[in-house]
């Protein structure tokens, strides 16, 4: 489940893959792009605030 309460789909992942294969992503190098629906950011916020 993502932060909006819905599970991620194969289409969600395929959109990221299509973007990374396109010329629009030509300035992105050596990066890890999590496709988590915001869960990774939410966890960091909670961890930093001690929640």
pLDDT tens digits for range 15-26: 999 999 999 999
**Strand, helix or coil for residue 2:** coil
pLDDT of residue 22: 96
Q: Would you say residue 8 has pLDDT above 70?
A: yes
When comparing pLDDT for 16 and 6, which is higher?
A: 16
pLDDT of residue 27: 94
Q: What are phi and psi of 16, to 5 degrees?
A: -65, -45
Share of the chain above pLDDT 70, in %: 71
pLDDT of residue 16: 92
Q: Which of these, 33, 36, 35, 34, lies nearest to 2 by C-alpha position? A: 36
Rounded to an integer, what is the distance from CA 10 to the centroid of its chain? 13
């Amino acid at each position: 489940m993502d932060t909006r309460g819905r599970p991620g789909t194969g289409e969600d992942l395929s959109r990221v893959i299509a973007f990374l294969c396109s010329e629009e992503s030509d300035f992105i190098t050596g990066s890890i792009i999590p496709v988590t629906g915001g869960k990774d950011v939410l966890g960091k916020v909670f961890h930093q605030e001690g929640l």
